[in-house]
Amino acid sequence: MRIAFSAQTPTVPHRRHWRFCVGSGHALLALRTDYTRQLRFIHDELGIERVRFHGILCDDMRTCNDLSMQMNVPGAEAFGEYNFNACGVAYDNVLAAGMKPFVELSFMPEKLALREENRPLRGMFFYKPVIVPPADEQAWTDYITAFLRFLIHRYGAEEVRTWFFEVWNEPDLPIVFFNGGRDEYYRLYEITARAIKAVDPAIRVGGPATSASKWVASFLAYCRAHDVPVDFVSTHQYAGDPLGGVEDQGDPEADNSRPGDRLTWEERMRPLVEKLAAVEDKTFLSGFQTLSPDKSETTDIAYGIFQRNAARVREQAEGLPVYYTEWNENAIFSAATNDTRKVAAYDVRAALEVAEDVTGSSIWCFSDIFEELHPFPQEFHGGFGMLTQNGIPKPVFHAMKMLADAGDERLDLGADATAGEIGYAAFRKGGDIQVLLFRQKMKNLDLPAEEVTLRIDGFTAGAVTVRRVDETHGNPLAVWQEMGAPLSLNRAEIEAIRAASAVGEEDWAFSAKDGATEVSAALGVNDVYFITMKA
């Protein structure tokens, strides 16, 4: 394959929208020192400005308590308190890492939760969040008011006004995040947004924080019809979503958030029980991965889904800022491909493709210090993070570091440049030309390398260097496997993996003549190359 373009191609700003924010696990983890160290590393290396996590209001943060929770004495429930001190420590740690919080207001304190027959109180996650609406709207309003006043008292109004407040997380997904209907979520958003604005009208609030780019049109229609404040639109998009399905399938406004007449729990579980019975290796991880296969490996997923949906959401937003507060290649926790360069190639392509359609975005997520479903002991267990739980950079970290280091001017090479299996983007940095070259496929197929020749007209390089993510560069999973995949790692082993999988700058062969520069590379599936042509 030959790629050619001119160094004199007009440029557009390199919009690093993914620096706006990054995702992480749930709030309690932000109290850990290793979490804070990794957060600082992500901020310093990639320039990411904010972090978003679930569960700031969950019961493990002990924000809403009564005496009966400790002493089961009749009448003790009348003695209550709000206690946001743990929230303050979490946000102190975020600020100490050089970042700001993107506040996801979730989930419901049990003391405030609606209790109804046939409406499960808690979600499926490891930390068992309460995922129902409030029992009493005024009690919820008072609680949110107290939370905002606590933040303003601790950090000052000017600081809190620089944060963003998002109401809930993926309310379109029952069992997992919200056992309530769409209209119940819209009402929850309304009373929450009004409570926030009553404390300080300058604080930014938005939603609907849905999966797969859903509900945006109807959410904004509700806000307009009821004069509800909304400062931004937020939603999520994964290439292969295990719960909501790929957004191009079905009605984006369908209210699927209540179980209703769908399959019973026993009917849902039957095929999973059969799968588990067929597995011989009965480790926790093997069972988990059997129940949660990587759908992008088994389903043919088209290119460009994120870009098409982001463009549609931008139109629906009608001028409001659009934040994709979660996105990645895969929404399947524990999928082995999460530790491979497949995610690296997808994320750089997606980041480039949606640059003109989003105001800001947040890759899910920065670290495998994460326990939505289980805190696995294995260093490489298919976690979502750019870093392992011990801070070893994965291929996706190295790929995003390439984008971070690219120049502020991006050559306007047109949509076709990133549309195919082999894609590319070019940047100016000082007098140099940088080219990000990748071969991205949704399936990790063992295919022959593809020879690519890159010609830059109007530029005569004096030297060429390459940083690359491939089978032997930026592949800590392979190093760990060569060690025998130890269940736990000591400090020496961690440093050995980091060193063996580091991505450094290499001199690269090139030809410079007749006012042009040519380089070649043999790209394997999901390889990523960052080529710098130095003046």
User: Among all residues, which ones are annotated catalytic?
Assistant: 170, 326
| CB-based contacts of 34, cutoff 8 Å, min separation 6 | 369, 389, 390, 391
- Alpha-carbon distance of 532 to 460, in angstroms, equals 12
The answer to whether 337 and 298 have CB atoms below 8 angstroms apart is no
DSSP state, residue 383: -
- Alpha-carbon distance of 263 to 69, in angstroms, equals 35
Beta bridge partners of 475: none
| CB-based contacts of 416, cutoff 8 Å, min separation 6 | none
The answer to whether 424 and 513 have CB atoms below 8 angstroms apart is no
Neighbours of 182 (CB within 10 A): 23
What is the length of the chain?
Answer: 535
- Alpha-carbon distance of 264 to 106, in angstroms, equals 27
Strand 11-13 versus strand 463-469 pairing type:
unpaired
Neighbours of 108 (CB within 10 A): 28
Which residue from 2, 127, 42 is spatially nearest to 396, judged by alpha carbons? 42
Most distant CA atoms of the chain, gap in Å = 90
* 290 φ, ψ (degrees, to nearest 5): -65, -40
The answer to whether 469 and 502 have CB atoms below 8 angstroms apart is no
Which residue from 404, 468, 463, 403 is spatially nearest to 431, judged by alpha carbons? 463
End-to-end CA distance of the chain: 25
The answer to whether 358 and 349 have CB atoms below 8 angstroms apart is no
Whole-Å CA distances, 522 to 422, 469, 529: 11, 12, 10
- Alpha-carbon distance of 523 to 450, in angstroms, equals 5
In the numeric block, the tokens 């919820």 are attached to 140
- Rounded to 10 degrees, the C-alpha dihedral 439/444/449/451 comes to -10
Q: Is 470 left (phi over 0), alpha (psi -120 to 50) or beta?
A: beta
